[in-house]
């Protein structure tokens, strides 16, 4: 069930919309008649435990060639400009 709601109405009735989302409703928020956002219940993902996630990251890093010739400090400083 998808319900269109204007942005002003969404702002003024947010608590009511959130209760609707808790009960399974889906809302599309519009701005001047154009859809700009969806308000839907969160998807529940099966989370990995931290140890397993770290091992997956290490395996990913081992599967890639090391990068050479890159000045990491210069790249970091460039992002701070």
Q: Say what the pLDDT of residue 12 is.
A: 96
Q: What class has domain 2-39?
A: alpha beta
- Residue among 3, 77, 79, 8 nearest 40 (CA): 3
Q: What is the dihedral of CA 14, 18, 21, 26, to 10 degrees?
A: 10
Domain regions of the chain by residue span: 2-39
Query: Which residues in the chain show pLDDT less than 70?
Result: 1, 44-48, 81
d(CA 75, CA 81) in angstroms, rounded, equals 11
Q: Say what the pLDDT of residue 7 is.
A: 95
Q: Say what the pLDDT of residue 65 is.
A: 87
- Here the contacts of 36-45 (C-beta below 8 Å, separation 24 or greater) are 36/7, 39/5, 39/10
Q: Say what the pLDDT of residue 47 is.
A: 63
Backbone phi and psi for residue 67, each to the nearest 5 degrees, phi listed first: -90, 130
């Amino acid at each position: 069930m998808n319900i269109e709601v204007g942005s002003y109405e969404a702002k003024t009735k947010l608590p009511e919309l959130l209760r609707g989302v808790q009960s399974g409703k889906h809302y599309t928020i519009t701005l001047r008649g154009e859809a700009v956002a969806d308000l839907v219940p969160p998807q529940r993902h099966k989370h990995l435990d931290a140890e397993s996630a770290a091992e997956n990251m290490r395996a990913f890093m081992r599967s890639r060639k090391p990068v050479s010739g890159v000045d990491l400090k210069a790249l970091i400083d460039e992002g701070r400009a």
